[in-house]
Chains A and B, each alone.
Chain A
Amino acid sequence: TQLLEQSPQFLSIQEGENLTVYCNSSSVFSSLQWYRQEPGEGPVLLVTVVTGGEVKKLKRLTFQFGDARKDSSLHITAAQPGDTGLYLCAGARSSYKLIFGSGTRLLVRP
């Protein structure tokens, strides 16, 4: 049973376009994290959101945590080829365990 559903599973866009990735659950999480993974490497943390309704910006990336702390979104403005990778959301159910989503594979074409 996948507790965290990510959509879309795959996204191929042209450089300069905007995109949004969604992470949804029926469960409440104490916090939610977004990781990015490049081929042949392990995931690397991008951001952690903790408070319902919280919005965090990381350059061209905007992360939002839903008011009920069940869902989150990642918006990328003016995507660049360097944004290509697998984006994973992960919800924290305890202080040391994470539940990972199935991932969104992003390809940004030059």
Chain B
Amino acid sequence: NAGVTQTPKFRVLKTGQSMTLLCAQDMNHEYMYWYRQDPGMGLRLIHYSVGEGTTAKGEVPDGYNVSRLKKQNFLLGLESAAPSQTSVYFCASTGTGQETQYFGPGTRLLVL
């Protein structure tokens, strides 16, 4: 039981490049989330999903897209990376009726 895993762990991009961050969970959770964490800002919700095939915008969705084609996977895409998207990205999941969110180890992204 791996919990929540994220790939890659670290990535460097040039401005304008695109990339996809992958999150996978093996707990059969309905809800999945993408957050970004910046110094002094805590965790801010980018997008979330309440089930397979559904997605919704969070607090800071601009510049990001997501997809939840399979229940266990939640993908975060950056179509044209900007330096302002330099951050640590965390994926989390939770089950129906639960409030505890289980977090992955994070992806550190640097956009030059």
What is A's interface to B at a CB cutoff of 8 Å?
A: 2, 4, 6, 9, 31, 33, 40-45, 48, 88, 90, 92, 95-98, 100-103
Enumerate chain B residues within 8 angstroms of A31, measured Cβ to Cβ: 99
B74 interface residue per 8 A CB criterion: no
Dominant SS at the B interface?
strand
Can you list 15 contacts pairing A with B, beta carbon distance less than 8 Å? A2-B41, A2-B42, A33-B99, A40-B106, A41-B106, A42-B90, A42-B105, A43-B101, A44-B103, A88-B42, A95-B97, A95-B99, A96-B94, A96-B99, A103-B42
A33 and B103 CA atoms in complex are apart in Å by 14
A43 and B42 CA atoms in complex are apart in Å by 11
Which residue of chain A lies nearest to B44 when distances are taken between CB atoms in the complex? Answer: A100
Min CB distance, B4 to chain A, in Å? Answer: 7
* Total cross-chain contacts (CB, 8 A): 55
What is B's interface to A at a CB cutoff of 8 Å?
A: 4, 31, 35, 40-45, 48, 50, 90, 92, 94, 97, 99-101, 103-106
Enumerate chain A residues within 8 angstroms of B103, measured Cβ to Cβ: 42-44
- Contact for B41 among A92, A95, A102, CB less than 8 A: A102
- Contact for B43 among A9, A41, A43, A44, CB less than 8 A: A43
Enumerate chain A residues within 8 angstroms of B31, measured Cβ to Cβ: 96
Whether the pair A92, B90 counts as a contact (CB closer than 8 A) is: no
Enumerate chain B residues within 8 angstroms of A92, measured Cβ to Cβ: 99
Whether the pair B100, A42 counts as a contact (CB closer than 8 A) is: no
Enumerate chain A residues within 8 angstroms of B97, measured Cβ to Cβ: 95
A97 and B44 CA atoms in complex are apart in Å by 11
